[in-house]
Structure 1
């Protein structure tokens, strides 16, 4: 657009054509975006929300915009139209369009995970993993390799009776526990390898009867461990019943 919008007629006519793919051409996209921006000028500013008239942020119009502002408006409009077309395409897809229903994906702990783990969790949640049942939509037989049941994600994870009989689920469960036990053992060994703490006097708990004063000096004994706060528990003065 920089060459095409030049005031010099020679430069404007010498703008080279951009070669792209068959499904998208810059000239058509720019022409469509320009038509949309001119249509917005005809419609005018549309008030949105509950704010008063004229309180919304004003956008530069195509008629009053400068050359550089027009190029910026065209680029933004092309991006907006491409995003709209992509969302419309995703709505028509039964499996690949499930990301439109995602909620709460801004959690910090989720994005701190590895990319492979996030990919597996998301695809498993929306059943888009390459299971035989999903691949059957294109070319693969959906039958389970161990039994004549369709191999859905739920069947593969927990529903195959043959895998249950052969102990495959038990083996998978034991492998997970083995990794957890190894991690816990490494942590225990690392903590036990630390040097012992210095002997710190541990304050003991002193019990006094109701009405008595707190002793000035509490007895202490040197022991290893964290220092605990002194607790004063008042014991009620219970008199023995007559007789």
Structure 2
């Protein structure tokens, strides 16, 4: 699109970059523009309990050239994500994550992946797609004949059963131990960020007129300071957790 919008007549004649098999850049851009034009005719639709005027969108006629490119890219990404979701739903096992309820999405960057231990990365990927070697999966893969849990010997050993529903780990306190270790890690991380050297807390003071300052910056609301750590607003935070001693 940058080539098409260029004022240079030579650049406009340059052929677009090659794309993956079965996907053409030009067709995707044209389809995205058609979808945006259709949305422009429909207008803004309200969903949920939000009132009229709460939702706002960037309109195509009033957008700049750069905003046009951003809208098209966003539309293409949205369509590709919809295709990926449809394909995942059709997969009985690898698409199980589409049925998760109230699960928070986790955004993992390439930098996070490179810094992860291999075993941890393998567990995250295989648990997401339910590919861990549980007895149920081993039975599907023709590795064992009986999918029953070897601990409780009552139910099929699925990933959900191992992590949350087996009565033997519950009786032995394994689930409680896991809960306490996660809580301990959370409290330790929060406590470290509460330290002035970690949170980079600046001294706050008020002028005679009641105006608030942090360092050399005057602010009207602590919550509106850009890139400010929540622990920088106050320095009297207290962490309390029910971790056994």
TM-score norm. by structure 1 comes to 0.48
Larger Rg, first or second structure (1 or 2): 1
TM-score norm. by structure 2 comes to 0.47
